[in-house]
Amino acid sequence: MAYERLEGGGAPPSAALVTGGASGIGAATVAALRADGTRVAVLDRTQPSHETDGVRSFIADLADPDAARDVVDTIAAEWGRLDVLVNCAGISGAMPVHETTDDAWARMIDVNLSAAFRTSRAALPHLARTRGCIINVVSTIALRGYPAQAAYAASKAGLVGLTRQMAADYGADGVRVNAVAPGVTDTPLTSSRFLSDPEWVADVVGPVPLQRAARVEDIAGAIRFLASSEAAYITGQVLAVDGGVSTSSLSAVPRRPQFASSLTVSP
């Protein structure tokens, strides 16, 4: 890549872009980065619930191919640098393959994988100037099977592959690329189920060695670490933040549905 290296890359006042930063893990990540004095741009479909000094919000749908590029260009013009990109925006949906429509598949891949690709592509020249980094938020579902998550698992597994490939491609430019894979996490989207569905809680939390779901701050702390100078020699890695499930002999997969009764063969 052709670029003019900035001196003191990574040192305050650094600048970050967090997609999906209006709520949940993204909002916790914004708070964690701000605690280090990093200026943060938030790109989301909704307005953050609150804004603080040093936070700039952009409302856009990452399904729009131009959204990421426009925001990155604006940040670079206003702040003169970009040091950290956190690709946190994503959607989910529980569907096995035979129930997944082409539209549902395309939407999942576009938002969870293609949008991260486009945002990274726009950010890479700026990150090369600052010896910056990318952290992709994937899922432990990308690393192991889980019932009825075909499109979601494929999109997140694709993002794992993209993480490792970008790490290999851009390490010589000083750009680190890693991923964080959360396990079951108590977020605003799941909190009601934690309160109302004890059977589901037993399924997903029971096998966790630490015997609790992750808090959004747990995931944000891992992202903060990977964005810091303390992780200066870490790239191409997927850090599972799952309370130990991925290293346990216990299975975190709940009761497995049987689909045979719903599979039909055209005459």
Q: Cα–Cα distance between 7 and 48 in angstroms, integer?
A: 32
**Strand bridging mode 84-87 / 176-182:** unpaired
Residue 226, SS3 per DSSP: helix
Q: Is the dihedral of CA 129, 131, 137, 141 positive or negative?
A: positive
The closest alpha carbon to 246, from 208, 206, 205, 211, belongs to: 208
Which one of the listed residues 3, 152, 170, 233 is annotated catalytic?
A: 152
Query: Token pair for residue 247?
Result: 């290293």
CB 9 within 8 Å of CB 33: no
Q: Which two tokens stand for residue 220?
A: 């944000």
Q: Decide if 152 is catalytic.
A: yes
Residue in this structure with the two tokens 């589901």, named with its chain if needed = 200
Nearest one of 46, 3, 50, 42 to 21, comparing CA atoms: 42
For 34, 40, 168, 178, 228, the CA distances from 12, given in Å and listed in that order, are 11, 12, 27, 21, 11
Beta strands in the chain (DSSP E): 15-19, 39-44, 55-59, 84-87, 133-137, 176-182, 185-186, 214-215, 238-241
Residues designated catalytic: 152
